[in-house]
Structure 1
């Protein structure tokens, strides 16, 4: 195996698309908290720490899943021989170490979030992944916490708390719908997801109930006067799309989770628009 193939394998272990997405979410959290221009060094450190932590978490998950992947995902770096199990573990530890080194330069609240997330990333595969709903909840927390981490990095968590909650709820809803979509394959692999444990339709009703909590909470940034009407103008259609996704998931989980993803993206845009409009009004 050449050095180039090994390098490509290590990059694949990190799931670059996931790394970029999580880093962008952290940057959005900092922007919503008003720290992009005021604390650019802290924002850069938080974004880099997030990317390294996500890459490390994905790599160590592949290390733990290497035997399953030899059957289900033989083209992944470890099964195909591009990276050895020991090499993947060492790479993950180096990335984790670099992430911690960056996190310790940030405020205490950001450091605490980073510490909790690092433990969660390591424990996900071995401890939580096989527990019905718990693995979904952990993934939802990790996605939502990227916004909170970005805000904490600039010392202004309050504006991002609602964004964290809404993102976590929407992610949990989508994770449950995805498990319904993957029901047959998961059952064949012996997994115990929420739809397998309680049934397909009850799981979808759980997902819908969670989303409704998010819908009720979505006006809070406006009611708390963090943002003005510009936020509402974007978040209302975002919520409508997500509600339609939850409805559609009962007939077609694949289409339903796709609409949920679109709505989540638009909801993130709503926070960006809300913060930008506030900055313009202040100026």
Structure 2
């Protein structure tokens, strides 16, 4: 059990600031961005559906993503007590069983909000919540393997919010094109998540966490990450081109070309350039996501309005 440092006063319940720290607002951006892309790609104007879309943003970011952060910190509390003792649980700012309690309360709130948005959104949120718990909690603990864990997070943070947003905006099941593009971007996020693993190769190896850099070495892991990100975006480009969304296809191709130029430098020094490439390459990646979403939504506006 994590020990509370002597300089931290004992408390029976956490402060509001401690709860916010546990939920890590900075991590909410990816699913909220994906949600925005899904809403835009649907082609549905806000109109009288602004409330479902707003609730969906709340669901994707603070609720589901916040829940995943609370769950992860609770089940990693013993490791954090060694590696990152200043985190909110091992430091004692989240005393007793409150970390687990917050995770459970946030899970319940997530499901309540999802239920308000209809059965399709509720089903998607249920899958996301199950993956959030399975990622960190035994017996599954998907994060122990980089292939599985990164895939779970990619689908949870990109694919599911995109699909959920399109469903909430339309009030019905989104098109197969939307589902396919959302899937491609979720798969590509697998490579993005691998970039985060380069900074902790030594510690992960010692703790038995089998990230891709640990499993395959830094060089091979970098090649795998770049290949996954490139292939997923090529898939998006093909979908857009087949739908005659030429402008969108060109824009995604352009940002992919810029990423490839950066990848060349990254592959020469994976450990040294992982943070650099993550900052530049991921920014280009999510820019391409929005370009694809705007292109898809623009094509659908007339048909949605007519409906």
User: Aligning the two structures, in what range does the TM-score lie when normalised by the shorter sequence?
Assistant: 0.7 to 0.9
- Give the structure 2 partner of residue 168 of structure 1: 186
- Give the structure 1 partner of residue 283 of structure 2: 262
Q: What is the correspondence of 1:203-214 to structure 2 with a 5 Å cutoff? A: 203-214=221-232
Query: If the length of structure 2 is used for normalisation, what is the TM-score?
Result: 0.81
Aligned mate of 1:247, from 260, 264, 271 = 264
Aligned mate of 1:53, from 45, 48, 64 = 64
- Give the structure 1 partner of residue 90 of structure 2: 79
The Cα offsets for residues 171-207 of structure 1, whole Å up to 9 and x where unpaired, read as 1112223324432332233322122223333323322
- Give the structure 2 partner of residue 120 of structure 1: 131
Any idea what SS the aligned residue of 1:77 has?
A: coil
Q: How many residues are treated as equivalent by the alignment?
A: 282
Bigger RCO (CA 8 Å, 6+ sep):
2
- Give the structure 2 partner of residue 94 of structure 1: 105
- Give the structure 1 partner of residue 152 of structure 2: 138
Query: If the length of structure 1 is used for normalisation, what is the TM-score?
Result: 0.88
1:32 is displaced (CA, Å) by 1.1
Asked if the contact 1:245–1:260 (Cα under 8 Å) also holds between the matched residues in 2, the reply is yes
Higher mean C-alpha deviation, range 28-37 or range 54-63 = 28-37
1:149 correspondence with 2:169: no
Q: Indicate the RMSD between aligned Cα atoms, in angstroms.
A: 2.6
Asked if the contact 1:107–1:152 (Cα under 8 Å) also holds between the matched residues in 2, the reply is no
Structure 2 residue ranges without an equivalent (≥5) = 1-8
Structure 1 residue ranges without an equivalent (≥5) = none
Asked if the contact 1:143–1:167 (Cα under 8 Å) also holds between the matched residues in 2, the reply is no
Higher mean C-alpha deviation, range 154-163 or range 232-241 = 154-163
